[in-house]
Amino acid sequence: MGRGKELSDFQRGTVVGCHLSKKSIRETSAMLKLPRSTVSAVILKWKREGVTTALPRCGRPHKLKEEDRQVLERVALQTGLSSTKALTAEFQLASGTSVSIRTVQRELREMGFRGRVSSYGNCRDLAAPMEDVLQLQEKEDEKVTAPCQQDANIDVSCLDLRVGRVISALQLPDSDGLYMQLVDVGEPSPRTVVSEQAKEVPEDQMQNRLVILLCNQKAALTRGVANQAVLLCACSSHKVEILEPPSGAMPGDRVTFTDFTGEPDDELNPKQNVWEQILPDLRTDARCIATYKGVPFQVEGKGLCKAQTLSDSEIK
Instruction: Tell me the pLDDT tens digit for each residue of 116-130.
Output: 555 555 554 433 444
pLDDT, mean over the chain? 80
Residue spans per domain, the chain: 66-142, 152-315
pLDDT digits (tens, 9 = 90+) for 217-226: 888 887 778 8
Q: Is the pLDDT of residue 173 over 80?
A: no
In this prediction, residues 247-271 reach a mean pLDDT of 91
Q: What percent of the chain has pLDDT over 90?
A: 29
Architecture of domain 152-315 in CATH?
Answer: Beta Barrel (2.40)
Confidence band, pLDDT 50/70/90 cuts, at residue 5? low
Residue 140 has pLDDT above 60, yes or no: no
Mean pLDDT of 258-274: 88
pLDDT band at 135 (very low <50, low <70, confident <90, very high): low
Mean pLDDT of 161-166: 95
Give residue 120's pLDDT. 56
* Selection from 58-72, 160-174, 234-248 with the highest mean pLDDT: 234-248
pLDDT above 50 for 206: yes
User: Which residues lie across from 225 on neighbouring strands?
Assistant: 222
Name the pLDDT band for 114 (thresholds 50, 70, 90). Answer: low
Stronger pLDDT, 202 or 286, i.e. the higher one: 286
What pLDDT score was predicted for residue 53? 60
